[in-house]
Structure 1
Amino acid sequence: MTQESKRILIVDDEEDLCEILQFNLESEGYETEVAFSAEEALLKDIKSFDLLLLDVMMGKMSGFKLIDTIRKELKVEVPVIFLTAKSTENDLLTGFNLGADDYISKPYSLKELIARVKVVLRRNTSAIDSEEKSVIKVENMVLNLDKKDLTIIDDRIELTRKEFEILKLFFENRNKVFSRDEILLKIWGDDVIVSDRTVDVNITRLRKKIKHYGEYLKNRPGLGYYFEV
């Protein structure tokens, strides 16, 4: 994702400050939107933003309450920087405990703010890239290559090492047909003597474990198995 496509939501009840922030951030190539209260912010599609800049003291709902609502009720993990005059140790701890990525005390330098915005966005982009490289997603199935496990929605599925490797092979080569011999060679190697019946047994177990997605694991008679998506 390029810097120009990053979207930032500014939430502050000081309209003049929002205007200044919006002008300077857009000058850096970011897309911005403004909400003058926490309640107004909740009417927006929060997950469409790459970063939230939140004031703490606002009307009925504080910035602390807003981020708590976003995390717990909306289940959105968007990065957050608090911009506030509340800078006691307890305020800082509260902000970070709620999942803030940074905490900037008013008054602040616009150059410092933009520098911190860049750091948080870069860090979050790196984390997303790293996570995407370590998982393979197929619809609601997530195969974690680091943890060597499978989750379907929130349900963790126990797989044997060979089952995991077979599913990984199919996930990485969707719609490609593999003969039993090819699967044996790729998963068991050529130094282990096993029969092609071993492949059938593992495929059967996999079909049961991945629930209704089992029907995606298909057999083409005389040719072999493939994962149809």
Structure 2
Amino acid sequence: MTDAKIHLLIVDDEIDIREILQFNLENEGYLVDLADSAEQALEKIQNSTYHLILLDVMMGGISGYKMAEKLRKNNNDIPIIFLTAKNTENDVLTGFSIGADDFITKPFSVKEVIARVKSILKRTGKVDDSIINKSSIIIVKNLSIDIDRKEVCIDDQSVNLTKTEFEILLLLLKNQNKLFSRNDILTKVWHEDEYVLERTVDVHIARLRKKIGDYGKFIINKTGYGYCFSH
């Protein structure tokens, strides 16, 4: 799990959204505060330090855009992810022009929110990479691999992998963009089984690619070097 010292603020006037985000983000190990309005959020920001804000755009009183403007005018650089039912080009441009770091359109996937939060925290350097990478769940877009439960899901649907396929995918996801030779994979996944041939790696990766569908294209074979996961 991530370090509980990572402090998030969720600002949304819909109680269901606040609660579902709080539940799932706290399960990831984050410390989460809630606000049902921009006014309440601005008060909380005066008294606490946050690493990131999930901010609804359309609220009664001060809008999410106005709240972001106030923060930026006060030289507050807290990363902001806007939650919005509006996703026209003008809306997005407006958000980015006043200092948004990302947009998530409602209705959203909780896994997508978690992935975006981790990505923004890492990119903005608000927390150390080693803290973010302690999570027992690795997420790439809508693909997630739960290391503790030995589960892989795509779009919240479970993917049935063999133990070997799971271990190969886990190895590649934990070391994204790093090339592993077939011998490296044999050593790390099959360990000391001397009867397994390098060709076996190709067969298992072909099956794995097929099972994970569109994500299979991210498992790249660089001729003469080996395999890596890169997206």
- Matched to 1:66, the amino acid is M
Alignment match, 2:87: 87
Q: 2:61 aligns to what? A: 60
Residue aligned with 2:54, SS: strand
Partner of 1:106: 106
Asked if 1:14 corresponds to 2:14, the answer is: yes
Query: 1:34-49 alignment to 2 at 5 Å?
Result: 34-45=34-45, 48-49=49-50
Contact 2:122 2:128 in 1 (8 A): no
Tell me the TM-score normalised to structure 2 length.
0.52
TM-score, with length taken from structure 1: 0.53
Q: Percent identity?
A: 57
CA deviations over 1:17-73 (Å, ceiling 9, x no partner): 100000000000000000000011111135600000000000011000000001103
Cα shift at 1:3? 3.4
Distance 1:90 1:127 in 2: 31
Specify every segment of 5 or more residues in structure 1 that has no aligned partner in the other structure, as ranges: 130-229
Structure showing greater radius of gyration is 1
Secondary structure (helix, strand or coil) at the match of 2:103 reads strand
Q: CA RMSD for the aligned pairs?
A: 1.9
Q: Which residue number in structure 1 is paired with residue 72 of structure 2? A: 71
Give, in whole Å, the separation in 1 of the partners of 2:90 and 2:128.
30
Instruction: Give the 5 Å matches for 1:1-229.
Output: 3-45=3-45, 48-73=49-74, 75-125=75-125
Q: Deviations over 1:68-112 (max 9, x none)?
A: 001103x21100000110111000001111111100111110001
Residue identity opposite 2:102 in structure 1: D
User: What is the number of residues matched between the two proteins?
Assistant: 127
1:124 Cα deviation after fit:
1.6
- TM superposition outliers: structure 1 runs of 4+ over 4 Å: 126-129
Paired letter, 2:40:
E
Distance in 2 (alpha carbons) for counterparts of 1:9 and 1:86: 21
Larger RCO of the pair (alpha carbons < 8 Å, separation 6+): 2
Deviation at residue 127 of structure 1 after TM alignment: 8.8
SS at match of 1:94: helix
